[in-house]
Amino acid sequence: MHRAARTATVAVALATAFGITACGSSGGGGVAADEKQTLTVWAMGAEGEKLGAVAEEYTKANPNVTVKVTPVGWDVAHQKLVSAAAAGNLPDIAQMGGTYMGEFAELGALEPVDTEVFDEKDFFPAAWEQGIVDGTAYGVPWYVDTRVLYYRTDLAEQAGIDKAPATWAELREAAAAYQDGAGTKWGLSIQPSGLDTVQSFYPFLYSAGGEIVDGDGKAAIGSPAAVKAFEEYGKYFAEGLAKKSVTPGYDVTKDFNTGDVPMFFSGPWIMSILKDQYPDLDGKWAVAKVPTGEQSVSMAGGSSLVISKDSDHKAAAKEFISHLTDTKGQADWYERTSDLPAATAAWESGELATDPNLQVFREQMETAKNTPTLAQWSEITSKVDRAVESVTQGKASAEEAAKKAQSEVESLLR
């Protein structure tokens, strides 16, 4: 999941300046799937770099369709999408994360998902829900992401830890045991401050039963459950178990390799990094589900594929998205990228079915929680970033931080 490069307020203002509103044009959409045509696709980051090869193979099998993939950097993706929407030049298909979905649906730029073609039962619930805005599905899940606990098993043995921590109490006890028994510098790496600190905070917030905004669209970051999460998160810094500051771009895998940091929360891409860059760690680490507060719940991330409301190639776009999201396409995409499949059937064979670490991710995805698809979500989470920082730096109590964040989020939701 990636943060929008600009706030929704700026996006809406820009869109208004170009004269588009939430009404949107349905476009022609009239070119049949079997007619000769060019399908334009924007994909972000590493996915944008690798999707071109899939598109070439698809074109060979479907010579009437030329699939033109444009890689877009995540640092400019939001601005580029907004500008394209304002000018009526969105590609036929775009990769879109949940943080963008509410904004672009509100602008009237997206075509609703054809639910006769794409069945929500084929995907993880959180993956499907990421594409829903006001009860309508706009995105077809492409790949998923969630956070689990990475931990050093060899250092755990030295520390007298015989199993992965399964509860909040066990996690904090393990963090202290790593320091005391294995001589690690820190017990757990969690982000103390800065942009997107909220992503490090989500496993605590959700596992406490808390939310930032509830299902009715009301601010909930001041709830007792959220206060409990702030308290637990803050203890790691107050007790010297976690760093109070990290440099921008901090790479936790380096400290994980040296043993300075024995535990951290992160996503599936870290497994490839550890295997490729730190082969000497093989057999010395594992992953576990997020330790339970009231429950074990992590954040849900990943990306969906959307079709432009103004596209003249909707039929071909649906067929290409079907190719990318069916069982075979999902398994192929995992082999190319290590992105976890959003379609559950792709997990029934091969490495996805047999690797115990991958199975932890699958189990975590079953209960993973989405962030709301609100146009102003980036602004909202920035308030939570600052609230977490005030707790980790000892500038506010959990109750004070939660109360201030509640007020600020309520203001944004009015």
pLDDT digits (tens, 9 = 90+) for 185-203: 999 999 999 999 999 999 9
C-alpha span between 248 and 237 (Å, rounded) = 18
In this structure, are 380 and 231 located in the same domain?
yes
In this structure, are 283 and 345 located in the same domain?
no
C-alpha span between 269 and 363 (Å, rounded) = 17
Kindly list the distances between the CA atom of residue 222 and the CA atoms of 77, 377, 400, in Å, as whole numbers in the listed order.
32, 17, 9
In this structure, are 262 and 193 located in the same domain?
yes
**Domain hosting residue 237, numbered range:** 148-298+376-413
Q: Which two tokens stand for residue 376?
A: 């102003």
C-alpha span between 254 and 73 (Å, rounded) = 25
Residue 112 lies in a domain: yes
As for how many domains the chain has, the answer is 2
In this structure, are 294 and 198 located in the same domain?
yes
In this structure, are 125 and 155 located in the same domain?
no
SS3 183: coil
Residue 192 lies in a domain: yes
Residue 2 lies in a domain: no
CATH, residue 317: 3.40.190.10
pLDDT of residue 373: 78
Q: What is the dihedral of CA 336, 341, 345, 349, to 10 degrees?
A: 40
103 band by pLDDT with thresholds 50, 70 and 90? confident
| 3: amino acid identity, one letter | R
Residue 1 lies in a domain: no
In this structure, are 270 and 408 located in the same domain?
yes
In this structure, are 224 and 336 located in the same domain?
no
pLDDT of residue 18: 41
In this structure, are 168 and 284 located in the same domain?
yes
pLDDT of residue 351: 92
In this structure, are 330 and 182 located in the same domain?
no
In this structure, are 290 and 402 located in the same domain?
yes
In this structure, are 22 and 83 located in the same domain?
yes
User: What average pLDDT does the segment 366-391 reach?
Assistant: 92
248 band by pLDDT with thresholds 50, 70 and 90? confident
Residue 253 lies in a domain: yes
Residue 3 lies in a domain: no
User: What average pLDDT does the segment 212-241 reach?
Assistant: 97
In this structure, are 118 and 179 located in the same domain?
no
pLDDT of residue 161: 97
Q: What's the pTM? A: 0.86
Residue 325 lies in a domain: yes
- Sequence-distant (6+) residues with CB within 8 A of 379 are 7, 8, 9, 412
